[in-house]
Amino acid sequence: MKRIIFLIISLLLVGCYEAKYLSIPYIKGNLYSKEDNKPIAGAAIYKSLFIV
């Protein structure tokens, strides 16, 4: 039982470690400036598909 819990927790941690290694399904969106309607560099929104 401890092994299963450890495996689940480790998979969640690895899945959330970095955006390029995400193993959890997600939708990525960009933030846009109100002044010139261009995407803001380095800003992104990640929405989990599990919450929807």
Domain of residue 32 covers: 2-48
pLDDT one-digit tens code per residue, 8-20: 777 776 665 555 5
Place of tokens 């819990």: 5
pLDDT of residue 30: 76
**Within its chain, how far is the Cα of 38 from the centroid?**
22
Q: What is the pTM of this model?
A: 0.34
pLDDT value for 6: 83
Provide the token pair at 22.
């995400």
pLDDT value at residue 50: 61
Count H helices, E strands: the chain? 1, 2
Q: What is the distance between the alpha carbons of residues 4 and 12, in angstroms, rounded to a whole number?
A: 12
Which residues of the chain, if any, have pLDDT below 70? 13-28, 44, 46-52
Residues 6+ apart with CB under 8 A from 13: none
Q: How many domains, the chain?
A: 1
Token pair in block for residue 26:
């997600």
